[in-house]
Amino acid sequence: MIIFLVVGTLSGAIALQIEKMQHQIGQLIKNVEEHTTHDETLGILKPEWAKVRLEEEILRATRFKRPLSVSLLEMESTLNRSQADRSAALQSLIRLAREVTQPPCVVADAGDNQVLLVLPEFTFDQTQTVFSELKTRVSSETYFPPTNNQAEVTQLGQPLSAYGYLRTGAVSLNGSTTTGGII
């Protein structure tokens, strides 16, 4: 009987320690997720890290008097879409932006369902060429919205233009030393 009493007390103490460790592990995982640089869903830089990268590129462009363009892309929908549908459209837009631009260009999350493009060595005219290419390819780019209807599952995606239309905006730093317009 004494053995059962001792074993019961020890198992209770061990269970409390395990529960405490699980709570600490949960807190550590939460901290790690907050400090990651990339968004897990979209696979691009989070907005706070995009701002850091943008500031680095602005400093580089002003120091070496090189062109730099920054643009925002947004897929505007006329319908009320679910968050999963917006994420699918953003993923497609990100994929398209990566195809049209090449490193060292940065594709990042700007928040509010917008994509930030940081285009080092791009003048305003070159940025407009990128916009033209993006707008042309949006009509043929496929995105994969989530669906609950089995009949729709057989269809392999929809054109991104079916989601909505692409809104763009850009600002350029063409080798000058003023950065107020970009920020």
Residue-wise pLDDT for 142-152, tens only, equals 888 776 655 55
Alpha helix positions (H), the chain: 2-34, 47-64, 83-100, 124-138, 150-153, 160-163
- Token pair, residue 68, equals 């730099």
Token pair 């925002």 in the structure block, residue: 72
How far is the C-alpha of 104 from the C-alpha of 108, rounded, in Å?
Answer: 12
Single out the residue of 115, 59, 70, 111 nearest to residue 92, CA to CA: 115
- Residue 35 has a pLDDT of 64
171: exposed, middle or buried (Cβ count in 10 Å: 0-12, 13-18, 19+)? middle
How far is the C-alpha of 96 from the C-alpha of 75, rounded, in Å?
Answer: 12
Residue range 31-76, pLDDT digits in tens: 766 667 767 777 788 888 888 889 999 999 999 999 999 999 998 8
pTM over 0.75: no
Four-point Cα dihedral 17, 22, 25, 26, nearest 10: -140
Considering only 11-15, 16-20, 111-115, 153-157, which range has the smallest mean pLDDT? 153-157
How wide is the angle at C-alpha 105 spanned by C-alphas 102 and 109, nearest 5°?
120
> Does 183 have pLDDT greater than 50?
no
SS3 of 148, please? Answer: coil
Quick check: 105 and 118 in contact, CB under 8 A? yes
Four-point Cα dihedral 77, 81, 84, 85, nearest 10: -50
Mean pLDDT of the chain: 82
> Does 29 have pLDDT greater than 80?
no
Quick check: 71 and 64 in contact, CB under 8 A? no
- Residue 57 has a pLDDT of 93
SS3 of 98, please? Answer: helix
